[in-house]
Structure 1
């Protein structure tokens, strides 16, 4: 009875569903590489209401509260997400002012969900994130090399130097073949970049144009 209750309340942090071989000092689950083709990217918060799913990809560059449910109830989303061409790994936040343990936990959650989705046939593109240079010791663990990755500059204006430093380190460590870049691309960021305008930028442009 007690064991059933614990499983039903998710107190096992999803390890009752799957335990993946991990890498690095924190046993981070590995995300396998994906070969990218052009798609239209939409937020996870629009996934259920989107009727035409072929040719589209799902991103998680949203406030965390809009997608924590995929960590709590991953099985509820697998079949739906398989209908999209790609799904980015959930962008659980890593902040420069967070305790390090919370950032590491969010990195683990991102990779567990990604590995779980891949194990069930979803095509996952890893979202790369970091906080301060101290995070470089673990924030690239589990990411594929010479493959497609995704990053976002949204919300990084106040910590741009840390963002640029992390971007350079990502390129050095992972040597990505394609970088899907959500938001404004700083001029210092180089590589095979596929630019995706942030929703807020699209909204501002539409407002400026009187739409």
Structure 2
């Protein structure tokens, strides 16, 4: 067997420490981290992984989300230590949102879920706080797409592309299944509220989730919904 440098070995063999628990199909668990999102609209914000920067003056106040094109996510997956270095200074990071589609087969959905959880578990084994990114594609795959998750923490989901005649029914069915399986988990949603979702979610308009505002000005309050569904803009909340 060839002898690899550690970074190359991790890239090729994808090992995780023995203490990382495994779910069905050997999918790694992302454990619950102590993540405070109570001030997500007032002192803590989201930043897209593409906008992470070592020059970011507000790293400790941002959560990195990974709703991004797969080519970007695969570059990070293929260079996990570089990804760790990129997101390490930030308050927390989400796991990678590898694409899933109802037209995909079993293997593609399993691979997307496994890679998502592997990235999260890898970050956690190096001391990074992680929020699982959760997606789903259909009832027959729920046991896969909801594998490797624990109840009681914080998940991040997205409604991008879900509010249409083609995707809505499958999305809302999976959303309710997620809430049933993980009743004690808080949700952050990148995207707008759609009919059938609950009010106890922090909804963040996708266009306000990129976190590049500090390149233009020293202070910024994003347009967000509070946990009680009051509307926050510029530090002033108006009940809707």
Partner of 1:165: 173
Task: Please give the TM-score of this superposition, normalised by the length of structure 1.
Answer: 0.85
CA RMSD in angstroms comes to 2.4
Give unmatched runs, 5+ long, in structure 2.
Answer: 211-240
Partner of 1:12: 12
Kept in 2: contact 1:179–1:191 (CA 8 A)? no
Kept in 1: contact 2:54–2:86 (CA 8 A)? no
Partner of 1:23: 23
Give unmatched runs, 5+ long, in structure 1.
Answer: 203-211
Aligned residues: 199
Cα distance in structure 2, aligned partners of 1:189 and 1:100: 27
Partner of 2:36: 36
4+ runs deviating over 6 angstroms:
none
Q: 2:205 aligns with which of 197, 206, 209?
A: 197
Cα distance in structure 2, aligned partners of 1:33 and 1:126: 9
Cα distance in structure 2, aligned partners of 1:124 and 1:131: 23
Cα distance in structure 2, aligned partners of 1:77 and 1:10: 13
Q: 1:149 aligns with which of 140, 150, 155?
A: 155
Partner of 2:52: 47
Q: 2:123 aligns with which of 90, 112, 117?
A: 117
Note closer, same or farther for the CA distance 1:50–1:98 as it changes in structure 2 (3 Å cut): farther
Superposed CA offset, 1:29-57 (max 9, x none)? 11111333222111101112651212111
Task: Please give the TM-score of this superposition, normalised by the length of structure 2.
Answer: 0.75
* Structure 1 residue matching 2:145: 3-state secondary structure: coil
Kept in 1: contact 2:11–2:79 (CA 8 A)? no
Note closer, same or farther for the CA distance 1:56–1:78 as it changes in structure 2 (3 Å cut): same
Kept in 1: contact 2:133–2:157 (CA 8 A)? yes
Cα displacement (A) at 1:177: 3.2
Cα distance in structure 2, aligned partners of 1:128 and 1:201: 17
* Structure 2 residue matching 1:54: 3-state secondary structure: helix
